[in-house]
Amino acid sequence: MGDDVAIALTGGRAIPAAFFPVRDAGEPRPGVLVIHELLGLTTEMRRLARRFSEAGFVALAPDFLAGLGPKPFCMARFARGIARRGVGRPYRQLEAARAWLTERPEVAGQPIGVAGFCIGGGFALLYAARGEVEVVAPFYPAVPGDEALEGICPVVASFGGRDAVFGSGGERLTDSLVRLGVDHDVHTYPAAGHGFMARYEGVSAWLGRRLPMHVGHDSEAAEDAWRRTIAFFTRHLAPVPQ
């Protein structure tokens, strides 16, 4: 799903990504960077990125786990890189992805938004406070303190109320954004748990249901969160042609 591309980095390296242009757009459209959850650029993450393109936004989903070794190690290295706020490898990769997307003829300098899921949601918040993006959509993220959110763009965020680890973040994020005077739409879905946007199968689904985060898809919460996100992005990036 999506066109596989490679985004050049310094030192001759590259980061693979999935690219989802808006088919038959007829004119440049705003772009959206999509940051995957801890499990990486899975089929589900590609599906969610594709939905942005179907809604009228050119989407790019980098694979931040590529080239970091066996899966458990690459997930840990990804998390460590995010913790090095602004200077870790994932930030350099995401900035390269933003520059690549901005220069694409399908975008041609149009504004850029960023969306992130799970650990990618927290990463999106941290990046949006310093990166050249106009709007950010974190889904069930870890919420940093006010100092890390200084300078952040408008935020549309979604949390699951049954998520015993991150579910309370919606209230804290709202308080921070109010203090900072940032336009926002933050909502917590009481019946949903962590990861409610994605559809998990097999061992991931079995394990997720047994974790304190109550990981699992919730179609009602997912569709409402999607509706809110697209409406917010449309308002802050550009109207989608009808």
In angstroms, rounded to a whole number, what is the distance separating the alpha carbons of residues 70 and 72? 6
Q: Which of 81-90, 160-169, 224-233 is the least confident region? A: 81-90
Please tell me whether residue 171 adopts helix, strand or coil conformation.
helix
Residue 241 placed within a domain: no
Model confidence at 237: pLDDT above 50: yes
Q: pLDDT grade, residue 36 (50/70/90)? A: very high
Contact criterion met (CB below 8 Å) for 58 and 106 = yes
For residues 33-51, average pLDDT: 95
Residue 119 placed within a domain: yes
Model confidence at 205: pLDDT above 80: no
Residue 242 placed within a domain: no
213 or 171: which carries more pLDDT confidence? 171
Residue 137 placed within a domain: yes
Contact criterion met (CB below 8 Å) for 68 and 78 = yes
* Enclosing domain of residue 97: 3-236
List pLDDT tens digits, range 74-115. 888 888 889 888 778 899 999 999 999 999 999 988 999 999
pLDDT-above-90 percentage for the chain: 73
In the predicted model, what is the mean pLDDT of the chain? 90
Residue 45 placed within a domain: yes
Angle between helices 89-103 and 119-128 (to 10 degrees): 70
* Identity of the amino acid at 104: R
Sign of CA dihedral 138, 141, 145, 148: negative
Burial track 209-232 (b if 16+ CB lie within 10 A, e otherwise): eeeebbbbbbeebbeebbebbbeb
Number of structural domains in the chain: 1
Residue 25 placed within a domain: yes
Q: pLDDT grade, residue 174 (50/70/90)? A: very high
Residue 88 placed within a domain: yes
Q: What is the CATH number of the domain that holds 87?
A: 3.40.50.1820
